[in-house]
Amino acid sequence: MLYPAEWQALWLTIKLALFSSLLLLLLTAPLAWWLSRGQSAGRNAINALLTLPLVLPPTVLGFYLVLLLSPDSWFSQLLRLMGIEALAFRFEGLVLASMLYSLPFVVQPLQQGFGQIAQDLLNQSKAFGANNWQLVTQLIWPLSRPALFSAFILSFAHTLGEFGIVLMIGGNIPGQTQLLSMLIYDQVESLNYARAHLLSGLLLLFSFSVLFWLYQQQRGQQQQGQQQRSQK
């Protein structure tokens, strides 16, 4: 059904979505925690900065990334000092770009989820004598698991649909940076509508299933909560 090049692009797309979503979760969780613990001008500034990828056209982000990842930029020179080649036209570069692009999709649900853990509850647990490790494992982790989960799914699905940035910094190299969305673009350009249909349909179906599943999960949790309350 799919040609090898298409399988390759599909696999690369999923790999990219997995890598960038997991890394993003790990790196932004502490930041989202800090943001959820109160209000201040500093927090607002950082919130605004993190939301930028949502409103900027991908070309703007892509343009800055092209500059940043080009072999003679300060960033690439710094990487070279650490023994890493320039990231332009490479999978690692795409991971970095996807992480920036999906930032708001991870930070916002996390921040919301963390924000629902009442400060009173944390303070009381501390007063009981709980140490930080106990707070994280017994309180914060179980209470924010749904938020971590939806942040991951949102970021994953969002990366699947990434196009603009990939176009600018990826280079469309099969096996390295050629994603499904790029392949569809190529097929449409060469008027190969049959393949474009197939690949687009695949992506559409997959994205719909993921989002539908996510909403089902959320509804399930709400219903559970209501049931518990009505049993009272």
Positions touching another protein (CB under 8 A) are 118, 120-121, 123-131, 134, 138-139, 142-143, 225, 228-229, 231-232
Find the shortest distance in angstroms from Cβ 117 to another protein.
Answer: 9
Nearest to another protein of 134, 200 (CB atom): 134
Cα within 13 Å of Cα(157), Cβ side? 18
CB of 226 to another protein, least distance (A): 9
Residue 69 phi, psi (nearest 5): -90, -5
Rounded distance between C-alpha atoms, residue 100 and residue 116, angstroms: 25
Nearer to another protein (CB atom), residue 124 or residue 192: 124
Shortest Å distance, C-beta 40 to another protein: 15
Which residues make Cβ contacts (< 8 Å) with residue 111, sequence separation at least 6? Answer: 32, 35, 36
- C-beta closer to another protein: residue 126 or 197: 126
Shortest reach from residue 121's CB to another protein, in Å? 5
Which residues touch 52 (CB under 8 Å, ≥6 apart)?
A: 104
Q: Minimum Å distance from CB 110 to another protein?
A: 18
Q: Which CB, 49 or 121, lies closer to another protein? A: 121
User: Closest CB to another protein among 175 and 225?
Assistant: 225
Q: Return the number of the residue (1 or 231) whose C-beta is nearest another protein.
A: 231
User: Could you tell me if 61 and 99 are in contact, meaning their C-beta atoms sit under 8 angstroms apart?
Assistant: no
| Nearest distance, CB of residue 231 and another protein, angstroms | 5
Q: What's the CA gap between 86 and 80, in Å, rounded? A: 7
